[in-house]
Amino acid sequence: MNISRVIAAVALLVITVAIIAFGVMNPGERVMLNLGWRIYQGVPLILALFIAFVIGIVLTLLYSLYYFVEFGLNVRRLKKRNRALEEELVAIRNLPIEEPLEDLGPEEGKEVVS
């Protein structure tokens, strides 16, 4: 098991216990919830925190979805470019080697006229 997974599991457990303890210690606490377009009076504190937590989860999931879709599209584009470059490399490797005649010396078949 990966140590980072263990640390994440322990952190999640600690956060969960802290939230439950907070809810148990403040059972009758009521707050005013101002959403900007509507104001709610007498909302239980634990409910307001839970709603904020759920909204945070939803926003995080939406951002993660966007990030992974963008990441997937980038990987697809890079794979396509890699295939094209590999095809070009194979085509270059298969080209016949042609040396210009002026570069050939007398030992390579060119007669020296004196």
Provide the mean pLDDT of the chain.
85
- Average pLDDT (96-113) is 62
Q: How far apart are CA 69 and CA 58, in angstroms?
A: 17
DSSP-assigned letter for residue 100 = -
pLDDT band for 50, please (50, 70, 90 cuts): confident
- Average pLDDT (90-96) is 87
The pLDDT of residue 64: 93
23-52 burial code (b ≥16 CB/10 A, e <16): beeeeeeeeebeeeeeeeeeebbbebeeee
110 contact partners, CB below 8 Å, separation of at least 6: 101, 104
Predicted TM-score (pTM) of the model is 0.55
Residue 50, φ and ψ in degrees, nearest 5: -65, -40
Q: How far apart are CA 59 and CA 64, in angstroms?
A: 9
Interval 18-27: pLDDT, tens: 888 888 888 8
